[in-house]
Each structure stands twice: as structure tokens, then as C-alpha cells.
């Protein structure tokens, strides 16, 4: 049973090696007592892929001319969508909501939407590439590991704190966690500290859920794929094998295609929620 459990969750488990076809195992080195793992390599690879894609895209649009070619247009389309449909409508200053043009925002460099847009772009594309790498056989899903998504959520939490403190000041940020209420003094003395503690706890919980949501969705998808493929092995000595085999393969293909969609959806959700949390800190109500 222990072996089956390990196999089922193999694609979302970290190892100090890569397993390739034909039983080839590539051991990863240990450097100064620090073990390099598969997910570390995949995360560095994801970062390099994002860097190479957008360095190439930046060179092509630096002159002001539009990027040409399906490959570059695809990545530019995603970047523009995140900017114009997620970050600017959610994070823009209240007097900027009606103007999402490049000219309008260029004239307002201090606007929080453009200030924090690079972070949201980085989060979105990094999570997306990590998710897509998980769709490649013999690789792995780094975002299916709670340690990875936890660090991503902590990064968002730090940005939320910095953005909120920059916008309203250190005291103002923590004070704004409690909404304004017209209460009698005796009631306020008792109630406001309780509400503040609840709001601080809620702030921590929101970012914890951010990590768990991404981890759970990626892990669940790959676990379903592993279970479907496991049906083939279980039925290998059974008369049902030739019925289970095509059904499992079709199920694998269908779930695999769904996983590609989930890769984009979960990257979008993580970026959108990160934007929303920053907006709540920058524009307290």
C-alpha cells in the first residue's frame, strides 16, 4: 500500500533525482551539504523560461513596433490581458478607473496599478510555466507542492504589507484593518480590539488559502491522472484489460487536456487574488 501511495502522488512529490524513460535515473548533486532536488531545478527552469520569453518580447517591442509572429503575439496577449483586465481595473487609483490607456497611465507613474504590475506579471507567468512543466512526462509539478505555493503566498503577503504601508503609513495600514464604526466609547474600547485581532487573523488566513488553493488544484489533477493510469496496471492480469486499457488512455488524454486549461486558470486565479489583496491594502475602506 505504501508503494502504491507513493506512485499515485509521484508527479507532485519532490525527489533528489529525475526519472527518465527506460529506467534511467539522473541523480542531482549535493552541494556543500545542500541537496539539490527536482523541484528546485524545475523552478529555476521556469524562471529562466519566463526571462527568455519576455526578454525576447521586450526586444521586439522596444522600438514601438508591434510584436510579430504567433509565438510572441501569444505571450504579449496574455501580458496585456493581465494588465488591462486584471491589474488596472482592480488596482488603479479611484480617479484612474475610467482611463486604462497607455498614455493615461504613463502620465501617472505613481499609480499603484503600474507600480505593482511587474510583480503580478511575474507571479502569473512563473506559476503558469511551473504548471505547464508539470504537463510534460517525467518532469513534475512544483506548484503541486505546498512548500512551493507557500513561498509564493508569502511573497504576495510581503508585497501586500509593503504596498499597504507605503500607501497609508505603518500605523495607518494596521489601523485601516478595522472599518470605521460610530460606536459609543465603552463599546468601542471592547469591540474594536476584538475586530482588529479577527482582521489580522483573516489577513493571514487569506494568504494561507492562496497557497492551499493552488497546491490542491494542481495536486488533484495529477493524482487523478495517476489513478486512471493505475487502472491499467491493476487490470493487467484480468480479462477486463482490453476494455480498461482504451478507456484509461482516453481518460488520460481528456484529463491531460483539462490540466492544460487548469494550468492557465490557476495561474490567473493566483494573480487575480494577489492583485485583489494588494488593492485592499492600498485602497482601504
Question: With pLDDT > 90 as the criterion, what percentage of the chain qualifies?
Answer: 56
C-alpha cell belonging to residue 76: 504579449
Q: Is the pLDDT of residue 76 over 80?
A: yes
- Give Cα 222 to chain centroid, integer Å: 16
Residue with cell 509539478: 141
Q: Is the pLDDT of residue 224 over 80?
A: no
Confidence grade of residue 56 (pLDDT, cut at 50, 70, 90): very high
Residue with cell 520569453: 53
Query: If you average pLDDT over residues 132-137, what whole number do you get?
Result: 87
- For position 34, what pLDDT does the model report? 92
Crossing angle of helices 38-61 and 112-133, in 10° steps, is: 130
Does residue 34 sit in helix, strand or coil? Answer: strand
CA–CA distance, 114 with 88 (Å, rounded to integer):
7
Closest CA to 145 of 130, 124, 128: 130
Query: If you average pLDDT over residues 150-170, what whole number do you get?
Result: 96
Q: Is the pLDDT of residue 90 over 70?
A: yes
Asked if 178 contacts 156 with a C-beta cutoff of 8 angstroms, the reply is no
Strands 24-27 and 17-20, by their bridges, are antiparallel
pTM of the model: 0.85
Query: If you average pLDDT over residues 52-75, what whole number do you get?
Result: 93
Query: If you average pLDDT over residues 38-48, what whole number do you get?
Result: 96
Closest CA to 122 of 149, 161, 163, 82: 82
Domain locations along the chain: 2-282
Query: If you average pLDDT over residues 174-195, what whole number do you get?
Result: 86
Lowest mean pLDDT among 40-44, 89-93, 164-168, 221-225: 221-225
Does residue 198 sit in helix, strand or coil? Answer: helix
Between the two ends of the chain, the Cα-to-Cα distance in Å is 53
Q: Is the pLDDT of residue 45 over 90?
A: yes
- For position 135, what pLDDT does the model report? 84
Confidence grade of residue 237 (pLDDT, cut at 50, 70, 90): confident
Q: Is the pLDDT of residue 96 over 60?
A: no
Confidence grade of residue 221 (pLDDT, cut at 50, 70, 90): confident
Which tops the pLDDT comparison, 259 or 6? Answer: 259
Amino acid at each position: 500500500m505504501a508503494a502504491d501511495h507513493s506512485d499515485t502522488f509521484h508527479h507532485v512529490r519532490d525527489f533528489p533525482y529525475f526519472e527518465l524513460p527506460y529506467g534511467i535515473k539522473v541523480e542531482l548533486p549535493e552541494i556543500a551539504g545542500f541537496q539539490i532536488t527536482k523541484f528546485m531545478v524545475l523552478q529555476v527552469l521556469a524562471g529562466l523560461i519566463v526571462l527568455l520569453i519576455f526578454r525576447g518580447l521586450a526586444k521586439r517591442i522596444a522600438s514601438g513596433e508591434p510584436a510579430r509572429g504567433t509565438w510572441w503575439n501569444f505571450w504579449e496577449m496574455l501580458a496585456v490581458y493581465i494588465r488591462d483586465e486584471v491589474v488596472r481595473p482592480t488596482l488603479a487609483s479611484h480617479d484612474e478607473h475610467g482611463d486604462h490607456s497607455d498614455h493615461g497611465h504613463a502620465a501617472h507613474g505613481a499609480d499603484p496599478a503600474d507600480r505593482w504590475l511587474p510583480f503580478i506579471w511575474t507571479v502569473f507567468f512563473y506559476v503558469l510555466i511551473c504548471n505547464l512543466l508539470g504537463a510534460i512526462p517525467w518532469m513534475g509539478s512544483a506548484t503541486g507542492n505546498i512548500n512551493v505555493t507557500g513561498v509564493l503566498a508569502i511573497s504576495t503577503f510581503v508585497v501586500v504589507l509593503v504596498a499597504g504601508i507605503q500607501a497609508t503609513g505603518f500605523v495607518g495600514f494596521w489601523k485601516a484593518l478595522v472599518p470605521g464604526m460610530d460606536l459609543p466609547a465603552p463599546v468601542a474600547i471592547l469591540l474594536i480590539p476584538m475586530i482588529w485581532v479577527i482582521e489580522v487573523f483573516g489577513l493571514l488566513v487569506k494568504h494561507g488559502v492562496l497557497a492551499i488553493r493552488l497546491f490542491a488544484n494542481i495536486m488533484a489533477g495529477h493524482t487523478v491522472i495517476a489513478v486512471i493510469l493505475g487502472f491499467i496496471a491493476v487490470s493487467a492480469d484480468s480479462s477486463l484489460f482490453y476494455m480498461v486499457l482504451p478507456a484509461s488512455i482516453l481518460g488520460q488524454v481528456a484529463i491531460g487536456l483539462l490540466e492544460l486549461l487548469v494550468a492557465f486558470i490557476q495561474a490567473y486565479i493566483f494573480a487575480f487574488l494577489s492583485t485583489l489583496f494588494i488593492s485592499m491594502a492600498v485602497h482601504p475602506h
